[in-house]
Chains A and B, each alone.
Chain A
């Protein structure tokens, strides 16, 4: 048993993969708490998809450099995150409609760009579903720096983000720069997505943002604890998911997300069981 747990660690790529999964999972979970509380799941999903053309361009011009990929993805993510509000206002569309149109279009553009390369299907699969076992040391360092930056900013603006999520009207009467803070949150979501791209890829990203936070919301009704439990859930899912991926020989990103999903289901079943028992004993 012990040996089974240790065996994957003889490979350096597994160690780096585990570190990346834990690090990225925790950042996603903390940011995801606000995504869940503000009902921005669709926005997060769509934002992840808009990054694809950025990745494609970075891939085409960067000649396989990870650095180029990262910066192109980050640039695209921040630009689309910031512009979506403006676009929906200018086009007089509901925000989710605007998000749907633009983000699907961007995704198609990304697929089109990548399809111009010969090794099309392999590369596309990496972008879509992640490739955590290919994480290098430089990738880890970059994830740590930017993930850390996101966490520091969430900590710094914690009370403002909480207030804006709970009661935007009070935020307005207290004259907080609400629009700027909203933009900042959206940019933080964008950075988080780019940092996590290698773990689960574009297509499964939303699960990393939503599922651990949603699971935590079943466990606790305090916001700091919700963030804590979400981070624990995400880190555990990363580790368990990678073991599953190693021993069952399944795709790592999918394994991590499935572990998150199973965790959510277990917690929600446990909760409803506990509630039923509680009701019976008090009745």
Chain B
């Protein structure tokens, strides 16, 4: 029976997940990656590589497949075509990938504290039927300190500001000991100081060798703060440094008529992505 097979296959401890981290391999490799829903392709033959320690922006209009791509990389959505590799292995063998959800999909009224949420990042390592050990509490405390939330640890999560909520999820990814962090729209709805705090934090993490992929709407932010940009609209439109990726041709391919492009005398482009929520991006 299916149920018995499932019980047998379930791994009841983490010992099965000590997948080899072959550092000669790129941390993410997508080869002809496709995801097809009933409504059509969310991702269509996307191929790219991400290297350890990179800070990569994933940019594209709404419905471009950014969240889908992150879920495939995190190993929670199986691709319908092509393949994805983490350090050369299947994503399902790794627990070193952290997916930080969009703040809008989180149930903020859920009765948990900041500390509880960060401890959730340890659940996989603690193992079934076990309680958190001293080491786990220590990791949670360190993670909270890193993101500057130690004083708010016992707050219920709805009592945090948007920026604090985002930093809490980064702390959870730290507690998870993630080597690859996937941040889904972390800047949406944040004011400038809060954005800058997150950016500073990301820079620190990158300095420690953590690979970071961030999906975002703000093309300026992508150009200023990220070493490489992946421009996506179901297919991969361009991947490279901001100078290489952000030009009229590629942006028209990604955004179509939803983009305002003004040529300035200096030749620079002023871009406004008008198609998306969380607008106000200029």
Contact = CB atoms under 8 A, between A and B. Distances in A.
Interface of A: 37, 82, 156-157, 159-160, 162-163, 165-167, 169-177, 179-180, 183, 217, 220-223, 225-226
Interface in B86-134: 92, 95, 97-99, 101, 106-107, 110-113, 116-117, 119-121, 123-124, 126, 128-129, 132
Give 10 closest A-B pairs by Cβ, nearest first: A174-B124, A177-B10, A172-B76, A221-B156, A223-B111, A221-B111, A173-B74, A163-B120, A166-B110, A226-B111
A163 B158 CA distance: 17
Nearest to B107: A166
Contact of A173 (B95, B119, B128): B95
B123 A180 contact: no
A173 B11 contact: no
A176 B111 contact: no
A166 B112 contact: yes
**A interface: dominant SS:** helix
Contacts, number: 84
A163 B101 contact: no
B129 A156 contact: yes
A225 B129 CA distance: 21
B186 interface: no
Contacts of A37: 110-111
Contact of B76 (A173, A183, A222, A223): A173
Given A173-B74, A226-B111, A159 B126 contact: yes
A174 B123 contact: yes
A111 to B, nearest CB: 31
Nearest to A179: B6
Contact of A170 (B10, B17, B121, B132): B121
Nearest to A220: B111
Given A174-B123, A175-B11, A169 B76 contact: yes
Contacts of B61: none
Nearest to A172: B76
Contacts of A82: 3
Contacts of B76: 169, 172-173
A170 B168 CA distance: 14
B195 to A, nearest CB: 23
Interface of B: 3, 6-7, 10-12, 14, 17, 71, 74-76, 92, 95, 97-99, 101, 106-107, 110-113, 116-117, 119-121, 123-124, 126, 128-129, 132, 156, 158, 172, 176
B116 A175 contact: no
Given A173-B75, A177-B12, A223-B111, 17 more contacts: A157-B128, A159-B123, A162-B120, A163-B120, A166-B107, A166-B110, A166-B117, A166-B120, A169-B101, A171-B123, A172-B75, A175-B75, A175-B124, A177-B6, A177-B10, A217-B111, A221-B158
Contacts of A222: 111-113, 156
20 contacts: A37-B110, A82-B3, A162-B112, A166-B112, A173-B75, A173-B76, A173-B97, A173-B99, A174-B124, A175-B11, A175-B95, A176-B123, A179-B6, A180-B6, A180-B10, A217-B111, A221-B111, A222-B112, A223-B111, A223-B116
Nearest to B14: A175
B120 A167 contact: yes
Contacts of B12: 177
B10 A173 contact: no
A171 B98 CA distance: 11
A223 B112 contact: yes
B139 to A, nearest CB: 14
Given A166-B110, A169-B99, A173-B76, A180 B128 contact: no
A104 to B, nearest CB: 26
B154 to A, nearest CB: 9
A165 B124 CA distance: 15
Contacts of A180: 6-7, 10
Nearest to B131: A159
Contacts of A220: 111
A180 B128 CA distance: 12
- Residue among B112, B113, B156 with the most chain A CB within 10 A? B112
A156 B7 CA distance: 17
A173 B70 CA distance: 11
- Residue among B10, B111, B126 with the most chain A CB within 10 A? B111
- Residue among B74, B119, B123 with the most chain A CB within 10 A? B123
B75 to A, nearest CB: 7
A37 B107 CA distance: 10
Given A156-B129, A166-B112, A169-B99, A176 B107 contact: no
Contacts of B10: 177, 180
Nearest to A217: B111
Given A175-B95, A179-B6, A180-B10, A170 B120 contact: yes
